[in-house]
Amino acid sequence: METFALVADRLWDGRGDVAREGLAVLVRGAQIEAIAPLGEIPPRAAVRRFPGCTLIPGLMDAHVHYSTVMGPAFLAAGVTTIRDVGNDLDWILGQRARHAANPRIGPAILCCGFLLDGPKAYWRHMGRAHASAQDVRASVREEAARGVDAIKLYAGADLELIRAAVEESRLVGKPTLAHLGPLKAEDTARAGLGEIQHLTGCGAAWKDSTLQEKDALIDILLEHGVAMTPTLVVWDRLGRILDPVFANDERRKWVHPVFRDVWERYLTRSGPPEPRLKLQTVVPWMKNCLARMSERGVSIAVGTDTPFPHLVPGFSVHDELAQYVDAGIAPSVALRAATSGTARVLGISGQKGHLAPGMAADLVAVRGDPLKRIEDLSGVEATVRSGVVLEPAALLESLQATYGSIPEDTITRDLLGYVNRA
* Nearest one of 121, 117, 105, 115 to 67, comparing CA atoms: 105
Closest approach of Cβ 265 to Zn ion, in Å? Answer: 19
Residue closer to Zn ion by CB (options 88, 305) is 305
Nearer CB in complex with Zn ion: 66/254: 66
Least CB distance to Zn ion at residue 94 (A):
20
- The one-letter amino acid at 264: E
3-state secondary structure at position 390: strand
Of 14 and 107, nearer to Zn ion (C-beta) is 107
With left for phi above 0 and alpha for psi between -120 and 50, is residue 139 left, alpha or beta? alpha
CB nearer Zn ion, residue 200 or residue 386: 200
Q: Which of 9, 88, 305, 381 binds Zn ion (CB under 5 A)?
A: 305
Q: Which region among 214-222, 235-243, 249-257, 304-312 touches Zn ion (by CB under 5 A)?
A: 304-312
Alpha carbon distances (Å) from 361 to 35, 57, 175? 11, 8, 26
Measured distance CA(388)–CA(246) in Å, rounded: 32
Give the nearest distance from C-beta 306 to Zn ion in angstroms: 9
Cα–Cα–Cα angle for 225, 228, 230, nearest 5°? 170
Q: Which range, of 100-108, 183-191, 209-217, 301-309, touches Zn ion by CB under 5 A? A: 301-309
Q: 31-37 and 23-28: which strand pairing?
A: antiparallel
Write down the least CB distance from residue 285 to Zn ion, Å: 21
Mapped onto helix, strand or coil, the DSSP state of residue 52 is strand
Q: Which stretch binds Zn ion (CB under 5 A): 188-196, 300-308, 347-355, 373-381?
A: 300-308
Only segment of 16-24, 243-251, 303-311, 377-385 that touches Zn ion (CB under 5 A): 303-311
Nearer to Zn ion, 305 or 319 (CB): 305
Nearer to Zn ion, 305 or 381 (CB): 305
CA 312-370-30 angle, to 5 degrees, is 75
Q: Which is nearer to Zn ion, 136 or 233 (CB)?
A: 233
Of 305 and 409, which has the nearer Cβ to Zn ion?
305
Q: Alpha-carbon distance 184 to 195, whole Å? A: 13
Which residue in the shown chain puts its C-beta closest to Zn ion? 305
Contact present, 331 and 370 (Cβ < 8 Å): yes
Closest residue by Cα to residue 355 from 384, 377, 376: 384
Quote the CA–CA distance of 341 and 290 in Å, as a whole number: 15
Interface region with Zn ion, contact rule CB under 5 A, candidates 140-148, 222-230, 305-313, 398-406: 305-313
Q: How far apart are CA 30 and CA 99, in angstroms?
A: 14
Report, in Å, the least distance between residue 241 CB and Zn ion: 16
Q: How far is the CB of 326 from Zn ion (least distance, A)?
A: 22
Cβ atoms within 10 A of the Cβ of 106, count? 27
Give me the least distance between CB of 167 and Zn ion, in Å please.
24
Beta bridge partners of 404: none
Please work out the total of residues on this chain that contact Zn ion, with binding judged by CB under 5 A.
Answer: 1
* Min CB(282)–Zn ion separation in Å: 18
Do the beta carbons of residue 380 and residue 393 sit within 8 Å?
no
Shortest Å distance, C-beta 391 to Zn ion: 30
In angstroms, the CA 200 to CA 184 distance is: 8
Q: Which stretch binds Zn ion (CB under 5 A): 98-106, 134-142, 254-262, 297-305?
A: 297-305
**Measured from the CB atom, is 27 or 162 closer to Zn ion?**
162
Q: Which chain residues interact with Zn ion by CB under 5 A?
A: 305
